Amino acid sequence: MDRRRLIGTGASAYGLALTAMFGSPAQGRQGEQGFIPEGLARLDAHFAGEVSAGRRAGYVICLGRHGREAHRSAIGLADVASSRPMTPTTLFRIASLTKLVTSVAVMQLVEEGRLLIDDPVGRYLPAVGAMQVAVSPEAPDDRRHPARPMTVRHLMLHMSGLGYRSDGATALGRRYQGLDLFHGNGTLAETIDRLAEQPLYADPGERVIYSFSTDVLGRLVEVASQEPLAARLKRTIFDPLGMSDTGFHLKASRRQDLATVYEPGPGDSLVSSGVEVFGDPFNPDRWPSGGAGLISTGPDYLRFLMAMERRGTLDGARILSTGSVDLMLRNHLPAAVMARLGGTPLAGLGFGLGSAVVVDAAQAAAHYRDGDAFWSGHFDTQYFISPSTGVASMIMTQLRETPGATPGRTAADLRALTYGALA
């Protein structure tokens, strides 16, 4: 059977089954918390159309408002070959949606008096604090001392000078790629020590470079708390919020719950990727990536987002103070850096302590509200938080975009359709 037809057929059959059970193609409660039922139906219909067109295998979408889940839908297939449907318990590699979780863990340590966001990183991680700057990206062995120490704030803003796995255009970028950090066994400490052997792209505080910064933050959490990162996140975030399906590693018994990653194939088809970009989640020796390593479900991650929208608390559990959340969801980019970002699609946007934030919605190139916070994951996992409207919204799918593929618009569609469903 044609792969796109199989995806569309699976989506239609699953939608019919849900209609029989719930009276609509969505699981959960519709029309609650100030959402218009017709608007929620439009949201689901749009993404069901993406599945039927063969652009995605399936989605899980969860919306909350004022700290209460308002909408939940599971559309299409988690695995095409077996016709396994998406469900609310489907597990996803959330990739960079991990970053906000790790940033919350850092702010918890600030509240406990164990660190300050303007502390030099070298106080906790001497090897990282001793990193030098490449004089040229084409001569990574020619290095100089940085103009200023790297701070915790620099890491949270991606202004540390570190690079990432995606730059293969320069000799320095190929050095970072050659580390292949996500596919080796080892501890978080060993991984960050390997990273620290490389030079920085730029002086800390000079410019924004999306990077391994949040992975370094994960190791900083371990050192400052004297707990393994996975245990710390579970104890201080996941357990209090009831996020029982979220973590870095999966037991073999959960294999059928994990959504398959797809990538664009010939003729606008989808093919199974077969590549674990951030390491195999079933490998117990995979190091816990604070930047991209968490596995979660839609309902679990929505609870985390609702706690952030509620300024640190949900259902009686508090993970952060209101002051800490307010600080995180405020722009921290220096004016000089903001000026260099002006005139691009980033106009009107800034960056807080772990998430992009909307500084001026009128200048932004998409459907935003002032004060919104948002981010995307590598496999097209998306979230946004809107303090002005009380909305927390997320969507999960598993698509690995390949070079040359048409850029997706999942995040923009999610924002527009969510806001379009507000009463």
For residue 355 the two structure tokens come to 């998430």
Q: Contact, 395 vs 61, CB < 8 A?
A: yes
For residue 306 the two structure tokens come to 């609702």
Q: How far is CA 360 from the centre of its chain?
A: 22
- 10 Å Cβ neighbour count for 119? 17
Q: How far is CA 317 from the centre of its chain?
A: 23
DSSP codes of every residue in 334-347: -HHHHHHHTTSTTT
Decide: helix, strand or coil at residue 412. Answer: helix
For residue 63 the two structure tokens come to 């919306």
DSSP E strands: which ranges in 209-364? 262-264, 270-272, 295-296, 313-314, 317-318, 349-351, 356-358
d(CA 334, CA 205): 9
Q: Which residues contact 311 (CB under 8 A, 6 or more apart)?
A: 320, 322, 325, 326, 387
| Residue 96 among the catalytic residues | yes
Catalytic residue from among 96, 160, 211, 213? 96
Q: Which residues contact 345 (CB under 8 A, 6 or more apart)?
A: 365
- CA dihedral for 301, 303, 306, 308, sign (positive or negative): negative
For residue 236 the two structure tokens come to 């201080």
Strands in 349-351's sheet, in edge-to-edge order, are 84-85, 68-79, 58-65, 391-396, 382-386, 373-376, 356-358, 349-351
- Catalytic site residues? 96
